[in-house]
Amino acid sequence: MVEPANTVGIPLNHAALLKDELDIVIPTIRNLDFLEMWRPFLQPYHLIIVQDGDPSKTIAVPEGFDYELYNRNDINRILGPKASCISFKDSACRCFGYMVSKKKYIFTIDDDCFVAKDPSGKAVNALEQHIKNLLCPSSPLFFNTLYDPYREGADFVRGYPFSLREGVSTAVSHGLWLNIPDYDAPTQLVKPKERNTRYVDAVMTIPKGTLFPMCGMNLAFDRELIGPAMYFGLMGDGQPIGRYDDMWAGWCVKVICDHLGLGVKTGLPYIYHSKASNPFVNLKKEYKGIFWQEDIIPFFQSAKLSKEAVTVQQCYIELSKMVKEKLSAIDPYFDKLADAMVTWIEAWDELNPATKA
Amino acid sequence: MSSSEINKNEVDIVIGALNADLTQFLNSWRPFFSGFHLIIVKDPELKDDLNIPEGFDVDVYSKPDIEKVVGAANAAMFSGYSCRYFGYLVSKKKYIVSIDDDCVPAKDPKGVLVDAVSQHVTNLENPATPLFFNTLYDPYCEGADFVRGYPFSLRSGVPCAASCGLWLNLADLDAPTQALKTEQRNTSYVDAVMTVPLKAMLPISGINIAFNRELVGPALVPALRIAGEGKVRWETLEDVWCGMCLKHISDHLGYGVKTGLPYVWRNERGDAVESLRKKWEGMKLMEKSVPFFEALKLPESAVNVEDCVVELAKAVKEQLGSDDPAFTQAADAMVKWVQLWNSVNSSG
């Protein structure tokens, strides 16, 4: 049995790392009570709340947090016709938050994620760990058997080439979850009681050329390095698929990071995932994805971007063309998705003119 | 998988003896080695007689035995740390577990001694998953599974060729690193086993390793010898080269390589600064090896391990031979190794 941490009495850290350079993006339809528990670690930071669902509902934000909030009406107003690329009735809408942010770094977390405890019982400051991960290099070109070589107490092992020890810039820090694991619906149905109680004390770089399932529950990234690739796709209302938003972003992000020589890390920090979603509802959402991913994975595994694609936007547009060409045959949804990918980039560039090429 | 569930008849524990007195080593491993057959190979350059405590089912091989099997001309292949490869050659078992003789069982965070042998065999008996990264690491272990987004067609995995374990206390760092951080010891117990992805290169350490001999035996090549190779790991690269070959061949044949648990506790030995004084050839050789392995494509026609080793040796000779004589020697040794493997194992 694993429990969340009790953060009562933990002092607020006024010298919080990067507090003026990082936005926390939270999608929600219910309330943000969970922020109370995160207060010592997150209050110094600015929040971008993306309110999904009924815009007439008021979302209560706990006292003391500095935030901006966008509901569907705001998204429609700001993006106009381009708002079509932002999902409705799905947490995929969170990527709107990435687009409107003006900061260098983003941390995104789900509203059912509590503070975890490490094996010594200490509350895990997940954001602090994400920042450490992002600020130090990745090592995608050669696997280090002692995991993150830049961590205190670790290093590169014998045989690790010296020319590769400087590493590359880290674009993404992918955190994990104790308690309710991020399983797909079939696995949830077969193992409804399984809980993740294993605290693996490691951060590692995912090797170049290797794809992974990126979960959006506990994720941080360098918006300046990879932001435009973090589009969470067309999910939810009016769409044939759900629960593949973060997966889609993760596959695109990894292909582009590999192409541009950026690193993706996974492992620490852990959060405590408190709520298990309904597996029958999940099955309906994921159903098509389970079949489609069999074709999507080989597509991404063999995707080759051109030498001329040197910015994230250029890479992403190229990818969207490949999606249209190669995946439309699976389902017309991919045709729509490819168009939405282009719309996303257009919207991103409009809202972020300084980051263009 | 507990010790009682493992079929001990399928395992040989191969120890290369670089130290004559194996009493402390074997007594510390007794709880986990008992019931298994041991092959101890004495470094041909070690002068003193081996001191082996009672109560083990063990076959010991020393220089005369090695020469008898492979001929005096080839005995040099099995000197120093490479002596253990002779054990791989003459073993008749499915799995090999090999641990350096300066390592003892480690304790896990609960203070329980780690049964490294059981963990290695468990790793080898369960599939590997090199084609897609599972963010919860080993999906086959108790309490874990494949995560959302992991393609179903890839969930049966592939056969596991090797299990690379880790080390607490004295980690397997190179001499410059350990010399710079003289006090650094590895105290971090990372509770995970994972598959190293397809095409990812890694430095495999021979200190704590196990492999499926039936699947990939000939791929563990005693080949690369650096000039002035010594009797401490800081002065060798044979296992790292062997590992690069093994990983490449495993990738080509569709097998997997795992890394992580089990840990062993590595005792203090040697002096990194002293090792640093010897001009460290290993650095240069690794720099040349990396682009070679990265670009290397074994031909489709190489469908078994022996063919892969021979093709790899050819490529090494052609592309790296002119860079350093150590590579030419390695290529020759690899070819010789396959010949020895075939002759010993067909008559055996």
Are A153 and B190 an interchain contact pair (Cβ–Cβ within 8 Å)? no
pLDDT in tens, A180-195: 999 999 999 999 999 9
- Select the residue of B137, B172, B189 nearest A157 (Cβ to Cβ): B172
Are B190 and A200 an interchain contact pair (Cβ–Cβ within 8 Å)? yes
What average pLDDT does range A254-262 have in this prediction? 98
Who contacts B120 (Cβ-Cβ below 8 Å, separation ≥6)?
A: B95, B97, B163, B165, B210, B262
Q: What is the overall mean pLDDT for chain A?
A: 95
Q: Which residues of B touch A235 (CB under 8 A)?
A: none
pLDDT of A318 > 80? The answer is yes
Q: How far is A84 from chain B (nearest CA, A)?
A: 25
What average pLDDT does range A161-169 have in this prediction? 96
What average pLDDT does range A299-303 have in this prediction? 97
* Nearest residue in A to B154, CA atom: A294
Q: How far is B111 from chain A (nearest CA, A)?
A: 14
* Nearest residue in B to A194, CA atom: B143
Q: Which residues of B touch A195 (CB under 8 A)?
A: 143
Residue B1's pLDDT is what? 52
What average pLDDT does range A273-292 have in this prediction? 94
CB-based contact (8 Å) between B205 and chain A? yes
* Nearest residue in B to A250, CA atom: B149
pLDDT in tens, A235-252: 998 999 999 999 999 999
Lowest mean pLDDT among A14-23, A257-266, B157-166, B309-318: A14-23
- What ipTM score was computed for the predicted complex, to two decimals? 0.95
Q: How far is A142 from chain B (nearest CA, A)?
A: 5
Q: Which residues of B touch A154 (CB under 8 A)?
A: 186, 188
Per-residue confidence in pLDDT tens, chain B, 348 aa: 555 578 999 999 999 999 999 999 999 999 999 999 999 999 999 999 999 999 999 999 999 999 999 999 999 999 999 999 999 999 999 999 999 999 999 999 999 999 999 999 999 999 999 999 999 999 999 999 999 999 999 999 999 999 999 999 999 998 889 888 988 999 999 999 999 999 999 999 999 999 999 999 999 999 998 877 878 888 888 999 999 999 999 999 999 999 999 999 999 888 888 887 766 677 889 899 999 999 999 999 999 999 999 999 999 999 999 999 999 999 999 999 999 999 999 854
Return the number of CB contacts < 8 Å for A and B.
Answer: 180
Residue B5's pLDDT is what? 75
Q: Which residues of B touch A162 (CB under 8 A)?
A: 283, 286-287
pLDDT in tens, A24-64: 999 999 889 999 999 999 999 999 999 999 999 999 999 99
Residue B153's pLDDT is what? 95
* A334-343 residues labelled b (16+ CB within 10 A) or e (exposed): bebbbbbbeb
Are A176 and B233 an interchain contact pair (Cβ–Cβ within 8 Å)? no
Residue A216's pLDDT is what? 97
Are A184 and B233 an interchain contact pair (Cβ–Cβ within 8 Å)? no
* Nearest residue in B to A197, CA atom: B143
Are A215 and B234 an interchain contact pair (Cβ–Cβ within 8 Å)? no
Are A143 and B196 an interchain contact pair (Cβ–Cβ within 8 Å)? yes
Return the percentage of chain A with pLDDT > 90, whole number.
94
Residue A356's pLDDT is what? 47
Q: Which residues of B touch A159 (CB under 8 A)?
A: 174, 203-205, 237, 240, 243, 282, 286
* B176-185 residues labelled b (16+ CB within 10 A) or e (exposed): bbbbeeeebe
Are A163 and B151 an interchain contact pair (Cβ–Cβ within 8 Å)? no
Q: Which residues of A touch B164 (CB under 8 A)?
A: 145
